[in-house]
Structure 1
Amino acid sequence: MAMSIVAFENEKNLPLNELLLNVNENGIKRNIPALHEKWSESRCFSKYTPFPIKGGLVEEGAQLDQWASETEWFVKDMEWLLGLEHFRFWSTLVHNAGAIESVISFTQSAIPYYLSGVVRSSPNVFPLYSAALRRVLQVICRMITQHESDQCWIGKEYMGELLYKHYLISIPLLFDLLPVYGRENKHVLTLMLQTVFKLQPKYRQDLRVALQYLQSTFKTIQLQIETDRIDGNVATVGTLNDLAVYTLDCCSTLSLLVELYPEVRPLCSELGFEPSITNFYDNTIVLLYRNIFAKDNESPYLGYLNSARMELLLAFRSIVNLQLETILDNPNDSLLPADKFLCILTECLSDPTFVKDYQRHYPVERDLDILKQACPGLDFFKLDFVQNAYCGGEESALTNGHCEETIIPEENEGFGEATGGAVEEQSPGPSTVSAQPLSEEQKIEEQVQKVLDVLPHLGGGYVRKILSRYDGVEQAIAAVLEGNLPPDLAEADPTEPFIPADKLDSFFLETGIQRLNVYDGDEFDVMVHDTVKGVIKKGKGMPGGAKNLQQMLDDKSHVKEMKNRYQEYTNVCDDYDDEYDDSYDAMADSESKKIRLTAEMRNALVDELDDDEEEPEDEAPVGAPEKKPLDFCENPEVVRQRYEERRRSKFPPRQSGKPSEKDVVGKPKGQGQDTSVLQNRKHKGENKASRANHNRKQGATFKRNKGMIPS
């Protein structure tokens, strides 16, 4: 069926999605949309395959010739795709899946920037690979170009939906482009990222998912290394090298993303990338470096890990620098970002190796000066803590309060003596006493005590198991706090105590003698220890004492001791002061307890005193009765009599035939009652409940105060 375009006209400058083309199909003219399956070319696109590499160099031979032939066809396909008209280009991308698959095959297999030296070293590979690299970038740039000319353009919303719906541009594709083009084409990639996210806001949600996957990738690499270490599997050199390259690829992708597209930094901060970076830096990269160094101390992959460290430092700096930029842009509302900046730096102190490298490349003093000038209301206690931790000397910045040797990586060096590099020696401070070296058991016990100071709820045996898996106290504490322990330790009992080995068992193994005494093996056992505490008594007497009776009698050392003792009593004064006794008696009388007396008792005492004054002691009558001492409590009869007299004085008896004002008794029954008596009875019945419990509590209190009820 023959079909041809009568004329390509777009006089109204319509977008591609609204444009109709006049078509002559077998003599019949009709209009077909410019973006249609009929304009898609049924071409079979070739896919890119990577060139053969062996030992870091291009492998010459038949495989390289085959790669060159296939890559030539791939370049021709890209050039042909670029040469299509605007409507044919988009129709082919939308309706021919092979076109975008061919582009993706190159981005997934291309050489990243850190391996570009391999390409430049081969004159047979470099020209052809450079052509493919350039053509693919041109195709992707045309895919995100909205206006090619006045007549060839696509609406913004429609183009964004077209790219997103047909997977022409995706977040994995953009991530693949970063390590391939990011270093030499920063301006192009920056415009590309900004254009894609403006065309289609849905890519932002996909970007969040991709960043979360990148975080999980860091944990996966760490888990892979730790699992091989726990299970006792010796990782091969190839596996370790692949992990090193994969680590650098992930780190460079993150670093380039935050550098080329700064708008992603708030999302990274929201997802908590700062602690993920520091933890991965301090644990995974260091451990991977040591494993590779143990296999080959001159491996080129050690340089890849150093490059990964630099990428992580740059990414971390870009993310936390967002808070500083916010402070400088709006100083009046800078308290919250300043506090967040200090919290991030404080949280990083659990990773001393990262802290040391970050302080070396990006001194914190400058950032803290900005906070002091821009945020006068900031909590300076936190600021001083961070400043002392980072800038207060090597020990405070790197060991977090513990005196231990810490690995100090340089930009172009390894990770210390444990991995083959050089370790900075800490000069000891001035000391006048030479400390004795600690034994291995004492060092372990000291480390256990440091962990228990931070985590007192753990058992001593459990802490020793954790320390046996990690290189230092800080790493062990960080693993426990982050819940990043190996599976066997995570399932173990955290309260497991430490039970030291029984000395009798080792004694039995060495001598074959089994002793069953409860005191065997203690610090006084001469059968186990060469030197014991205390004094060993042999025979009569004690060491240093008299050997016989004559020597004991001749020993007069105790006489000198007693003489010195009695010398102290010669300074005693024998003067006697009689006034001292009188003053003491007067003071005793004044401080004696006063007795509360009733009126009758007070009168009785007065009478007795009068009698004493009138009659001298020596003229007392022979038959006079002895004076009664004061009673312990007053006689209840006397109390009742006195109370009755007081009552009679207040309420005199009524006259015969005349009722009292509040008389409720009245006349005998049958003689009739007065009106006042009836009113009094009524008033009493209405108000008898005004005082609770018929005054029983008040009466009991009264009796107790008077001594009638023992209490």
Structure 2
Amino acid sequence: MVIAAFENEKNLPLNELMIPLDEDGIERSVPALNEKWKDSRIFTRYTSFPFRANTTLVEEGAALEQWFSETGWFVKDMEWLLGLEHYRFWSTLVYNRGAIESVVSFTQSAVPYYLAGAARSSPSVFPLYSAAHRATLQVICRMITQRESDRCWIGKEFLGELLYKHYLVSIPLLFDLLPVYGRDNKQVLTLMVQTIFKLQPKYGQDLKVGLKFLQSTFKTIQQQIVTDRLDGNIASLTRLNDLAIYTLDCSTVLALLVECYPDCRSICTELAMEQSITNFYDNTIVVLYKNIHAMDNESTYLTYLNTARMELLSAFRGIVNFQLETVLDNPQRSLIPADKFLCTLTECLSDPVFVKDYQRHYPVEQDLDVLRQACRSVDTFKMDFVQNAYCLEDGANGLSNGYVEPLPEDDESFGEAAGGVAEDELAEAGPSTASGPVLTPEQQIEANVQKVLDVLPHLGDGYVRKILSRYDDVEQAIAAVLEGNLPPDLANADPTEPYIPADKLDTLFVETGIERLNIYDGDEFDVLVHDQIKGVMKKGKGMPGQPKNLKEMLDDKSHVREMKGRYQEYTNVCDEYDDEYDDSFDAMADSESKTVRLTAAMRNALVDELEDDDEDDAEVEEDVGQSGGKKTLDFCENPEVVRQRYEESRRSKFQARQGGFVPPGGGSGKDVVGKAKGQGQDKSVLLNRKQKGEHKSSRANHNRKQGATFKRNKGMIPS
């Protein structure tokens, strides 16, 4: 295969360029992006050098020697890839998957910026690692470069489709790049990320999926810690350290993504990423910090967790700042984003540790001042509420280490509650009075203890109280603990000693000299200490005001007096009679009566019913006349009378239907027997015989089966 001399004289893009090829004496043109131009080179994958994360020191040994060998070949592969011609570079990336896998291996195994000190600590590792770091970034930059020169360039749409279709650049690759290159090469990485999203808008949907994955990762880390606490398991220090590194990595990715690609803030707002950050900050990072601190108070991973907190604060600031920028860009339509900004800050109040740290690093009052000037129609009540909730925190720098002090009351609200003291009177009363409410000695001790715990959270409350009792102020006590300059008795005491308040019974015994074992000793119900107590003291049976015995209860007629007034209301009834009302009602009833027209069928039915009623009345009168008095009802009617009445009713029914003929012994009502033979037959008998002959086949076997069944049921035929 011979490649003819090639120069892109027409300055065609890569997707339209054809390259001449002489293969076995046959000349033809092959597209510039083709498998013919790929290189079958086997690329080396990068592996991280051995080091300890807690000390950031490189481990010497055979593993380090192997790393030197593999990383040297990796750097040569990247430099060789950069030296390829334009069409060969793209053909190798597309048709040789080993090339892009080698690039991805470095982004996955390289140390992030917060562990880069491990590479710098070794003079032999740092130069080689820096070469690999630089070469990989150059390859990725060449991958997203549309035009290298006038004759080496590629169409924008084609490049975006090429990167997306062949997975040369993906959202996981960007997430791996951010912690590796984000801090040292922030400008280059910002340009790179923004260029990728401009080349292919489809990456926007993938980014949304990636942010959802970050949210689920926060929940997974939190669930791991909560599960250990619920099951009573004590997680190992190694596991806690791994969770701390994972937390810092996720926090760094989110913070750098917001900084390098500001357009993602709208997606974060849509996914409610702000609530995920604050919830993860209070419920996961603080607990993780305490668990690691309890096992190793000098652990390096505590610093990593503090770095993660700073990254989350920065990410939250960038997301909520999107609403402020919207307000400033379009003040005429700033009400909705301003309201969203205030709602987000309000929802974060359920996470006090985050609120305190956010206020210390990004004061909210400055944002509220901008909001007041840009949006005049914003709800002032919400703004005042947010300002009072955030700005009451102290202005100290640093993080709170997860311990929240009680919020001091506002000066104005406290003055009004105390009786409306004016500001001038507070100023005249002195600086101590004007600065806030006067604390009792016990409250002052609690405030000092809380200040010490903010700096030294691993100490117990009782131990801190002992230390404060030896020193004049909080600063001296903290300095003595940090310097190890404590008195011998405090140095040998238990630093985790809790504070157990004094028992009220012991105090009562000291004051009165009376020792009693009663649940009411010393409280508001103690009759031996207080002259006037709350509630009713019951002595004996019953309750105060109730009857003492049965006779007194029966003689009590108080309920009659109570009901007398109620029943008295029912006596107020008007007895006047209005005769005109009855006349008008009768006239109205007569006017509403209408004549009902009956049909012939209704009239016959009515006549029959009336005749039956008359016959029944006649029978009753006859019975009464025969007995000479009122007929008594029989307990059980005579069966003979019942059968006779049934037979008479049956005969009358047949007479009405057949003109008076009743067959003897029952049976059908039609006469087919007639007179004796030779005497002649009536017309009706002949008609009945004819009808019977025509319809006898309607029953199977001339009704013999039915007759046999009837006889068998009556016991005539043995079965």
TM-score normalised by length of structure 1: 0.59
Which residue in 1 is equivalent to 2:345? 345
Q: Which of 569, 589, 594 is the aligned partner of 1:693?
A: 589
Q: CA deviation at 1:191?
A: 1.1
Deviations 1:23-76 (A, max 9, x none): 111221111111111111000001001101134310012211110011000000
Pair 67,164 (structure 1): closer, same or farther in 2 beyond 3 Å: same
Q: Specify the code of the residue in structure 2 equivalent to 1:42.
A: S
Which residue in 2 is equivalent to 1:33? 31
Deviations 1:238-292 (A, max 9, x none): 1111111111110011000000111111111111011111111111000000000
Pair 4,358 (structure 1): closer, same or farther in 2 beyond 3 Å: same
Which residue in 1 is equivalent to 2:61? 61
Q: Specify the code of the residue in structure 1 equivalent to 2:138.
A: Q
Which residue in 2 is equivalent to 1:95? 95
Q: Which of 13, 16, 36 is the aligned partner of 1:15?
A: 13
RMSD: 3.4
- Please state if 1:430 is matched with 2:438: yes
- Please state if 1:381 is matched with 2:381: yes
Which residue in 1 is equivalent to 2:113? 113
Which residue in 2 is equivalent to 1:707? none
Q: For the residues of structure 1 that align with 2:577 and 2:520, how far apart are their CA atoms?
A: 82
Matches within 5 A, 1:123-272: 123-272=123-272
Q: For the residues of structure 2 that align with 1:634 and 1:85, how far apart are their CA atoms?
A: 120
Q: CA deviation at 1:91?
A: 0.5
Whether the 8 Å contact between 2:282 and 2:354 is mirrored in structure 1 is yes
- Please state if 1:48 is matched with 2:46: yes
Whether the 8 Å contact between 2:327 and 2:374 is mirrored in structure 1 is yes
Q: Specify the code of the residue in structure 2 equivalent to 1:46.
A: T
* SS in structure 2 of the partner of residue 69 of structure 1: helix
Q: CA deviation at 1:373?
A: 1.4
Q: For the residues of structure 2 that align with 1:157 and 1:634, how far apart are their CA atoms?
A: 100
Q: For the residues of structure 2 that align with 1:62 and 1:425, how far apart are their CA atoms?
A: 60
Pair 168,433 (structure 1): closer, same or farther in 2 beyond 3 Å: closer
Whether the 8 Å contact between 2:18 and 2:31 is mirrored in structure 1 is yes
Which residue in 2 is equivalent to 1:558? none
* SS in structure 2 of the partner of residue 262 of structure 1: coil
* SS in structure 2 of the partner of residue 7 of structure 1: coil
Q: Specify the code of the residue in structure 1 equivalent to 2:334.
A: S
Q: For the residues of structure 2 that align with 1:634 and 1:214, how far apart are their CA atoms?
A: 86
Whether the 8 Å contact between 2:360 and 2:396 is mirrored in structure 1 is no
Pair 183,432 (structure 1): closer, same or farther in 2 beyond 3 Å: closer
Q: Specify the code of the residue in structure 2 equivalent to 1:12.
A: K
Matches within 5 A, 1:349-364: 349-364=349-364
Pair 434,49 (structure 1): closer, same or farther in 2 beyond 3 Å: closer
Matches within 5 A, 1:405-416: 411=398, 414-416=401-403
Q: CA deviation at 1:432?
A: 7.0
Matches within 5 A, 1:672-691: none
Q: For the residues of structure 2 that align with 1:635 and 1:119, how far apart are their CA atoms?
A: 114
Q: Specify the code of the residue in structure 2 equivalent to 1:41.
A: D
Q: For the residues of structure 2 that align with 1:287 and 1:60, how far apart are their CA atoms?
A: 35
Q: Which runs of 5+ in 1 are unaligned?
A: 395-407, 439-524, 536-631, 644-687, 697-711
Pair 267,58 (structure 1): closer, same or farther in 2 beyond 3 Å: same
Deviations 1:615-648 (A, max 9, x none): xxxxxxxxxxxxxxxxx98999xx99xx9xxxxx
Matches within 5 A, 1:418-567: 429-430=437-438
Whether the 8 Å contact between 1:6 and 1:22 is mirrored in structure 2 is yes
- Please state if 1:288 is matched with 2:297: no
Matches within 5 A, 1:287-306: 287-306=287-306
Whether the 8 Å contact between 2:353 and 2:403 is mirrored in structure 1 is no
Q: CA deviation at 1:153?
A: 1.1
Whether the 8 Å contact between 1:416 and 1:423 is mirrored in structure 2 is no
> Percent identity of the aligned residues?
67
- Please state if 1:366 is matched with 2:395: no
* SS in structure 2 of the partner of residue 257 of structure 1: helix
Which residue in 2 is equivalent to 1:5? 3
Deviations 1:289-333 (A, max 9, x none): 000001100001100111111101111011000111111111111
Deviations 1:123-143 (A, max 9, x none): 010000000000000000000
Pair 365,32 (structure 1): closer, same or farther in 2 beyond 3 Å: same
Q: Specify the code of the residue in structure 1 equivalent to 2:41.
A: R
Which residue in 1 is equivalent to 2:659? none
Q: For the residues of structure 2 that align with 1:172 and 1:393, how far apart are their CA atoms?
A: 39
* SS in structure 1 of the partner of residue 4 of structure 2: strand
Q: For the residues of structure 1 that align with 2:108 and 2:331, how far apart are their CA atoms?
A: 45
Whether the 8 Å contact between 1:306 and 1:411 is mirrored in structure 2 is no
Which residue in 1 is equivalent to 2:427? none
Whether the 8 Å contact between 2:323 and 2:338 is mirrored in structure 1 is yes
Q: For the residues of structure 2 that align with 1:211 and 1:635, how far apart are their CA atoms?
A: 86
Whether the 8 Å contact between 1:302 and 1:414 is mirrored in structure 2 is no
Q: For the residues of structure 2 that align with 1:305 and 1:214, how far apart are their CA atoms?
A: 17
Q: For the residues of structure 1 that align with 2:291 and 2:518, how far apart are their CA atoms?
A: 47
Q: Specify the code of the residue in structure 1 equivalent to 2:93.
A: L
* SS in structure 2 of the partner of residue 280 of structure 1: helix
Q: Specify the code of the residue in structure 2 equivalent to 1:22.
A: P
* SS in structure 2 of the partner of residue 48 of structure 1: coil
Which residue in 2 is equivalent to 1:700? none
Matches within 5 A, 1:300-339: 300-339=300-339
Pair 431,258 (structure 1): closer, same or farther in 2 beyond 3 Å: closer
Q: CA deviation at 1:19?
A: 1.0
Pair 28,309 (structure 1): closer, same or farther in 2 beyond 3 Å: same
Which residue in 2 is equivalent to 1:598? none
Q: For the residues of structure 1 that align with 2:247 and 2:336, how far apart are their CA atoms?
A: 34
Q: For the residues of structure 2 that align with 1:138 and 1:385, how far apart are their CA atoms?
A: 51
* SS in structure 2 of the partner of residue 385 of structure 1: helix
Pair 41,228 (structure 1): closer, same or farther in 2 beyond 3 Å: same
Pair 695,196 (structure 1): closer, same or farther in 2 beyond 3 Å: same
Pair 205,694 (structure 1): closer, same or farther in 2 beyond 3 Å: same
Q: Specify the code of the residue in structure 2 equivalent to 1:430.
A: V
* SS in structure 2 of the partner of residue 9 of structure 1: coil
Pair 366,692 (structure 1): closer, same or farther in 2 beyond 3 Å: farther
Q: Specify the code of the residue in structure 2 equivalent to 1:286.
A: V
Q: CA deviation at 1:211?
A: 0.3
Whether the 8 Å contact between 1:331 and 1:375 is mirrored in structure 2 is yes
- Please state if 1:275 is matched with 2:270: no
Which residue in 1 is equivalent to 2:77? 77
Whether the 8 Å contact between 1:21 and 1:34 is mirrored in structure 2 is yes
TM-score normalised by length of structure 2: 0.58
Deviations 1:452-482 (A, max 9, x none): xxxxxxxxxxxxxxxxxxxxxxxxxxxxxxx
Q: CA deviation at 1:424?
A: 11
Pair 434,127 (structure 1): closer, same or farther in 2 beyond 3 Å: closer
**Count of paired positions:** 449
Q: For the residues of structure 1 that align with 2:443 and 2:278, how far apart are their CA atoms?
A: 36
Q: For the residues of structure 2 that align with 1:160 and 1:349, how far apart are their CA atoms?
A: 43
Deviations 1:179-217 (A, max 9, x none): 110111111111111111111111111000000000110
* SS in structure 1 of the partner of residue 337 of structure 2: helix
Q: For the residues of structure 1 that align with 2:375 and 2:30, how far apart are their CA atoms?
A: 65
Deviations 1:501-525 (A, max 9, x none): xxxxxxxxxxxxxxxxxxxxxxxx9
